[in-house]
Structure 1
Amino acid sequence: MMKSKWFFTGLLAFILATSVAWAEPPEVTATPPSGAWLRADQHALQDFRHRVSLQTHDDSKPLLPVIEEFKVMIENDPELFMSFTQMFDQIPRTAPYLEDPVGHPQVRDYREMLRVMNQVLTQAPEFNQTDLVGFPINAIVNWAMGTPAGASAFLNEKVNRQLKKILNQWAVFLRSPDSRTVLTNDPKTGWFGRDARLAMPTFDKDFESNPSLPYHGFVSWDDFFTRSFRENRRPVASPTDDRVIANACESAPYRLAKNVQLRDQFWIKDQPYSLSHMMAGDPLVEQFAGGTVYQAFLSALSYHRWHSPVSGRIVKTRLIDGSYYAQTPAVGFDPAGPNESQGYITQVASRALVFIEADNSEIGLMAVMFVGMAEVSSNEITVYEGQHVKKGDQLGMFHFGGSTHTLIFRPQVNLDFDLHGQTPGLNSKNIPVRAQIAKVR
């Protein structure tokens, strides 16, 4: 569990001190968020929320036990009741916040939020022509995340424990055969239909599946989401050269930072990395002070398994509980939050940490950190401490959504990064998993 109560006290003081920043909401343009882990088209995101809301308008419909628990928690805790009431009150009553871009109303109170969540837990994501189809709960709280009350509430430890329970309950459905109803040939909403084929034209060549079988042989939505590449579709870069570092995820470069500090003010606009907070105060963190962090993000259509960037011994693994819907107060209203907060959430979100002692002594101890975003309710590590892995071997996987990850190196490691001709940022494109990402000088 994260130290210092998720940094709640310090961040709440910051939020209160700067809450005037929300008095004039920033202009939100029609430009789609380019991070590509969240739906690029706010129309589709809010249209899904609206359609679910229409199905759940009846207040008398019983809530699932895990949602009822959340309701009781909110209403019986004065601080949470205030926060979950204020976060919707603080969403501006001006365009574009009154309605979504296609004219549908936004969620305006926590009761409606709970009703829509209640419906989501027994639905699998349909395909659409945007970049995310797996984040319906994010659509409910998207604007609320950008308010002072939302910034506070979504860092609350009790809230995140309950959100974890809710998302784990959704995971039960997504691992069941009932979740396969979207794995169809429907032209618009099916994952093997016309629109999906246009978005993933080489799917059958790339991934292990059998088009002759019902649902292409997948036993659940999660089985489809965590699909594997076919043999040799993503070869390991220079498998016998320990100086070459492989890409750990099928991902797009977000940031490359050097001389990273043990502690920094990660919630400010530039979102600097704060190693001690990223690693939740792990005793090994001191070795990385002044080192290098490379971060990259995964799109909703990406392959979501993790692979070792080096050959070496697994020294330590950790699953770190954290937030699910927190974004930095510095960005205000993000139309695809926490898309613009990817640096910040490496310090506060639910994440998995793997320390590897590389066979190449010039690299030595390094860390790989996999960060869940929004509906990602499970970061699964599939290696054990003491295990020796080869470069490119599987380390684990994300479940149920898009995500981000980092490679962390000690300061004495001299690297030349190969970002395949790209400048890191939200407009970058995927680099194949296991491709070369850096090389020791």
Structure 2
Amino acid sequence: MEENDIQTPFRVGNWLPSDQNFLRNWMNDLIEKTDKNPKELLPVISEFKDFIENDPEIFMYFNLMFSQVPKKYRKDPSGHRQVRDYHHMLQLFNTIMTHAPEFNTTGVVGFPINAILDWSMGTEAGYAAFLNKKVNEQFKKMLNEWAIFLKSSDSCAVLNKDPKSGWFGKDAMQAMPNFDTEFVCDPNLEHHGFTSWDNFFTREFRPGQRPVASPNDNNVIANACESAPYRIAKNVEAKTKFWIKAQPYSVEYMMAGDSFTEKFIGGTIYQAFLSALSYHRWHSPVSGTIVKAYTVDGTYYAEAISEGYDDAGPNNSQGYITELATRALIYIQADNPKIGLMCFMPVGMAEVSSCEITVYEGQHVNKGDQLGMFHFGGSTHCLFFGPKVQLDFDMHGQKPGLNSKNIPLKSKIATVL
């Protein structure tokens, strides 16, 4: 198989539709809506345009990333040319900035900006551009503006009962049949009582819905997120070629050179991913004291080169992005001396790269207590344990990987031996 013909048969966590035809149609609708009614660029998008055109290196990247897309990817089967150039890209961004994601049965277009960049990310110029610090600073500005909209009451427009696209319509309720009983909401109120898209996205479970596994047994590790297991790696190295096909972990890069890095070299990393229809808050896997907690700025749309033209965007670059993407590091000194210092690392993927920490240094947390939350989109997370910690993992009858299913929040995922 040629490198450019690498296939990705599904999309992890339903952040982008598994049905390529749906995604093409969604893109065509977005393009038609934008092209028929072009609007003046919002200030943050206009600034992005000036940034591209005033920096020769960036100008080159944003021209080449579209011209380098192989011909077979430039048009959909009906002959529509999708994203034509960076001018068109910016117009599409401009439209997205005042829209919240709608529901659909084949998967949520929860990464709308990712969808616009789907093929340009896989070009040589795309790899270079989306690793560029200045480019990521511009994306951060743009996404911060989008976040303001997603926290506004205007974003509630998609929290309706439209049978196909509404988050409380027939199709959505079939996909989330226990929504009203599982989550804090009021079905009798408009928008189920949610005040914005972000308020809906960061919804909380009702009390008792996710009990803590063995709350008095500090040898039991609880699932920190409502998430599906992706990988268990032992004897992890300080530095590796994290961009190759296997996407091995590099602890020094993942921890951004933190002074605690050495304590985890040779240890164990557990990674799991969250889904679009799931719960997006993080909870402590152990009881202990918060030693350090902070966020690390990183990339938003960088893919692993080894994935070729990945139609799942960053989804199939799960391991790779742990070294590069925006993430938080929360170090916990566990009450259990057999665990000692461990680390929880939530990783933002694409639009989701907003990681909000809700604990502080010196705070004691019990197993299952909230640590923070993701905002706006898809995500993954890692747990780090030192080399002396021996763990017996419980993956609830499945093997870690992109086909795995969610393990309930706060359920047992491992036992310390």
TM over 0.5: yes
The yes-or-no answer on 1:268 pairing with 2:247 is no
d(CA) in 1 for partners of 2:116, 2:78:
16
Q: Which residue of 2 aligns with 1:432?
A: 408
Instruction: Describe the shift of the 1:57–1:37 C-alpha distance in structure 2 as closer, same or farther (beyond 3 A).
Output: closer
How many residue pairs get matched?
417
Partner amino acid, structure 1, of 2:364: H
Secondary structure (helix, strand or coil) at the match of 1:201 reads: coil
Unaligned runs of 5+ in 1: 1-20
Q: Which residue of 2 aligns with 1:422?
A: 398
The yes-or-no answer on 1:350 pairing with 2:329 is no
Aligned residue runs from structure 1 range 256-335, under 5 A: 256-335=232-311
**Would the aligned equivalents of 1:245 and 1:310 in 2 still touch at CA under 8 Å?**
yes
Q: Which residue of 2 aligns with 1:154?
A: 130
The yes-or-no answer on 1:245 pairing with 2:221 is yes
Instruction: Describe the shift of the 1:110–1:268 C-alpha distance in structure 2 as closer, same or farther (beyond 3 A).
Output: same
d(CA) in 2 for partners of 1:28, 1:413:
38
Q: Which residue of 2 aligns with 1:41?
A: 19
Q: Which residue of 2 aligns with 1:118?
A: 94
Listed one character per residue, the Cα deviations across residues 323-379 of structure 1 (whole Å, up to 9, x for unaligned) are 000011111100111111100000000011100000000000000100000111410
Partner amino acid, structure 2, of 1:190: G
- Cα deviation, residue 60, structure 1: 6.3
**Would the aligned equivalents of 2:15 and 2:110 in 1 still touch at CA under 8 Å?**
no
- Cα deviation, residue 27, structure 1: 4.8
The yes-or-no answer on 1:226 pairing with 2:213 is no
Q: Which residue of 1 aligns with 2:30?
A: 52
d(CA) in 2 for partners of 1:104, 1:127:
24
Q: Which residue of 2 aligns with 1:17?
A: none
- Cα deviation, residue 52, structure 1: 1.8
Q: Percent identity?
A: 63
**Would the aligned equivalents of 2:231 and 2:400 in 1 still touch at CA under 8 Å?**
yes
Secondary structure (helix, strand or coil) at the match of 1:260 reads: coil
Partner amino acid, structure 2, of 1:427: N
**Would the aligned equivalents of 2:13 and 2:276 in 1 still touch at CA under 8 Å?**
no
- Cα deviation, residue 44, structure 1: 2.6
Q: Which residue of 2 aligns with 1:174?
A: 150
Partner amino acid, structure 1, of 2:270: Y
Aligned CA-pair RMSD: 1.5
The yes-or-no answer on 1:26 pairing with 2:5 is yes
Listed one character per residue, the Cα deviations across residues 260-303 of structure 1 (whole Å, up to 9, x for unaligned) are 01111111111110000001000010110100000000111110
**Would the aligned equivalents of 1:42 and 1:101 in 2 still touch at CA under 8 Å?**
no
- Cα deviation, residue 197, structure 1: 0.8
Instruction: Describe the shift of the 1:129–1:152 C-alpha distance in structure 2 as closer, same or farther (beyond 3 A).
Output: same
Q: Which residue of 1 aligns with 2:372?
A: 396
Q: Which residue of 2 aligns with 1:5?
A: none
- Cα deviation, residue 26, structure 1: 1.3
**Would the aligned equivalents of 1:46 and 1:104 in 2 still touch at CA under 8 Å?**
no
Instruction: Describe the shift of the 1:321–1:378 C-alpha distance in structure 2 as closer, same or farther (beyond 3 A).
Output: same
Partner amino acid, structure 1, of 2:405: K
d(CA) in 2 for partners of 1:402, 1:137:
12
Secondary structure (helix, strand or coil) at the match of 1:25 reads: helix
Q: Which residue of 1 aligns with 2:381?
A: 405
**Would the aligned equivalents of 1:314 and 1:355 in 2 still touch at CA under 8 Å?**
yes
d(CA) in 1 for partners of 2:347, 2:67:
30
Instruction: Describe the shift of the 1:123–1:279 C-alpha distance in structure 2 as closer, same or farther (beyond 3 A).
Output: same
Secondary structure (helix, strand or coil) at the match of 2:141 reads: helix
d(CA) in 2 for partners of 1:311, 1:101:
54
Q: Which residue of 1 aligns with 2:113?
A: 137
Q: TM-score, normalization: structure 1?
A: 0.92
- Cα deviation, residue 45, structure 1: 2.7
**Would the aligned equivalents of 1:168 and 1:377 in 2 still touch at CA under 8 Å?**
no
d(CA) in 1 for partners of 2:400, 2:299:
25
Return the match for 1:200 from 176, 182, 197: 176
The yes-or-no answer on 1:88 pairing with 2:74 is no
Secondary structure (helix, strand or coil) at the match of 2:74 reads: coil
Aligned residue runs from structure 1 range 2-21, under 5 A: none
Return the match for 2:44 from 53, 56, 66: 66
